[in-house]
Amino acid sequence: MDNCTGNLLATAILLSAIIFYRKLICCKLLSSYTTPRLPLGTLGWPFLGETLDFISCAYSDRPETFMDKRRLIYGKVFKSHIFGNPTIVSTDADVSRSILQSDAKTFVPSYPRSLTELMGKSSVLLISGNLQRRIHGLIGAFCKSSHLKAQITCDMQKYVQESMKSWSEDHPVYIQDQAKNIAFQVLVKALISLDPGQDMEFLKKQFQEFIAGLMSLPINVPGSRLYRSLQARKKMVNLIHRIIQDKRSSLDSSFPKDIAEIWLSDASQQLTDDVISDNIIDLMIPGEDSVPVLMTLAIKYLSDCPTALQQLTEENLRLKRIKENLEEPLCWRDYLSLPFTQNVITETLRMGNIIIGVMRKATKDVEIKGHFIPKGWCVFTYFRSIHLDEDAYDSPCQFNPWRWQERDTSGSSFTPFGGGQRLCPGLDLARLEASIFLHHFVTQFRWAAEEDCIINFPTVRMKKRMPVWVKRRRDNSCSKPKH
Ligand code: HEM
């Protein structure tokens, strides 16, 4: 081939490539104006989809790598196939906010089968419509009441003091176990007015068996994880039914003492004993899991960040001294009044991602900000990627409570408690309990933490249950103990 023919051929190839790409771009532009597009992505293997890759990343110390890899190729919203369903994954703050704020006619909750079998069919987390709104509203009103906040403060102080009194300087204290024990007792008291004792111990034991199966394989045969968890649930339901029946016979509806009594006094007739017991068991989950994990992670991050620990300790010691001088006990408003302590809790919620995200199913074809979600597909709003997004936070993997001095928590990039109609009704309580725990811990002890790491799947927790060596404070300075 001579030079001239070669040049002609090269020009022809170049021209056809340009024409081809122009056509492609025109088609793409046209289609994006006319029909919303199914997000890019792959559905993985038949049946398994991309679940194995999702789970193997979830067990690592950077679970968001599953999302990161796909975000790079397909963008912040992409399609996948996880937990047996074709799924649109959103790691985009605005798209996730729109999904959370959509009404119950567009999206309904959708969770893996083991979880739905264990939660009970009337669980507020799984139902939609009138009953969900009714139960949510009653829990929300109760959680906001100053009566409950005062009671929680009093119970928390009592259980925290009892627990901390028994801590020894000769053995490590396992913060995660201590926090679970305290928060479970506080929440069960608020739910059914049960005090520590035999029934409480029984509930605690059954509950641990129950919660272990929440993300298990959906195989319900004698001996399987799910089977054992369902058996534990049955035992809890029996105990709760007995407590509810006792309450019914002596109910004073003008002064309900706990959530169960509020539900029993509800005039709507929708709240049968089964609905009440399903929801009481589900409400124990934050008591055994989310709230104590929040407390534990706060201690973990503070142990790794001495300047934040020092500032938080000084703030709490100052409050303690003021109240001692006034000879007044601390009330719930005092605990929530400390700005830096609240910033530490906010930053712990951002980095800890105790709930990694929420899952919904589309009940009809939906378009959200140009992304098409077909009817019957799941959507997974993955909070973790948003909370660790460099577009939203500077040095997102760094624990930096000071960042919250300049920004508030209402933006779409901060959703540890979800949003919309299902926004967590217990968010104030979670903050209050964490503030009380932190106050008593830092004002009574100095500590040195042993090496430990965070496990993120199936639930967030510390691998070694967060062992720390404590020393009781004999003065009010902030130096560290030597071990
Ligand atoms: C650190 C602690 C907590 C975290 C991170 C947390 C997180 C969440 C999230 C993300 C949701 C939204 C679920 C969805 O949209 O499907 C939620 C819902 C819920 N939370 Fe919490 N929560 C915490 C503590 C609590 C506490 C203490 C209570 C109890 C009083 C509670 C009761 C509920 C209930 C009843 C719902 C269901 C609301 C509904 O679907 O209508 N949570 N929580």
Mention every residue, 6+ apart, whose C-beta is less than 8 A from residue 298. 344, 345, 348, 434, 438
In a domain, 298, yes or no: yes
Question: Tens digit of pLDDT for each residue in 215-257?
Answer: 788 889 999 999 999 999 999 999 999 999 999 888 887 788 8
Distance of CA 365 to the CA centre of its chain: 28
Is 295's C-beta closer than 6 angstroms to any atom of ligand 1? Answer: no
Question: Tens digit of pLDDT for each residue in 393-450?
Answer: 999 999 999 999 999 999 999 999 999 999 999 999 999 999 999 999 999 999 999 9
Measuring from atom 16 of ligand 1, which residue has the nearest CA?
A: 358
- Owning domain of residue 310: 36-472
Q: Does residue 28 have a pLDDT over 50?
A: no
Is 151's C-beta closer than 6 angstroms to any atom of ligand 1? Answer: no
CATH code, 257: 1.10.630.10
Atom of ligand 1 nearest to the CA of 132: 41
In a domain, 336, yes or no: yes
Question: Tens digit of pLDDT for each residue in 153-164?
Answer: 999 999 999 999
- 423 C-alpha vs ligand 1 centroid, how far in Å? 7
Cis-peptide into 222, omega within 30 deg? no
* Alpha-helical regions (H) of 120-254: 130-144, 146-165, 175-192, 198-211, 225-249
- 424 C-alpha vs ligand 1 centroid, how far in Å? 4
Is 283's C-beta closer than 6 angstroms to any atom of ligand 1? Answer: yes
Report the pLDDT value the prediction gives residue 479, as an integer from 0 to 100: 53
Measuring from atom 30 of ligand 1, which residue has the nearest CA?
A: 426
Q: Does residue 26 have a pLDDT over 60?
A: no
- 211 C-alpha vs ligand 1 centroid, how far in Å? 16
Q: Does residue 392 have a pLDDT over 60?
A: yes
In a domain, 297, yes or no: yes
Directed axis angle between helix 175-192 and helix 146-165, to 10°? 140
Task: Name the residue with higher pLDDT: 87 or 121.
Answer: 87
DSSP 422: G
Name the burial class of residue 328, with classes exposed (0-12), middle (13-18) and buried (19+) by CB atoms within 10 angstroms of its CB.
exposed
Q: Does residue 25 have a pLDDT over 90?
A: no
**Alpha carbon distance, N-terminus to C-terminus of the chain:** 82
Residue 175 tokens read as 């913060």
In a domain, 10, yes or no: no
In a domain, 15, yes or no: no
In a domain, 31, yes or no: no
Please say whether the beta carbons of 276 and 239 come within 8 A.
Answer: no
Mention every residue, 6+ apart, whose C-beta is less than 8 A from residue 251. 261, 264, 265
In a domain, 322, yes or no: yes
Is 359's C-beta closer than 6 angstroms to any atom of ligand 1? Answer: no
Question: Tens digit of pLDDT for each residue in 274-286?
Answer: 999 999 999 999 9
Calculate what percentage of the chain has a pLDDT beyond 90: 79
Q: Which amino acid is at 313?
A: T
Please give the mean pLDDT across all residues of the chain: 90
Domain count across the chain: 1
Helix, strand, coil tally for the chain in percent (to 5): 55, 10, 35
Q: What is the pTM of this model?
A: 0.90
In a domain, 17, yes or no: no
Q: Does residue 482 have a pLDDT over 80?
A: no
- Per-residue pLDDT band for 268 (boundaries 50, 70, 90) equals confident
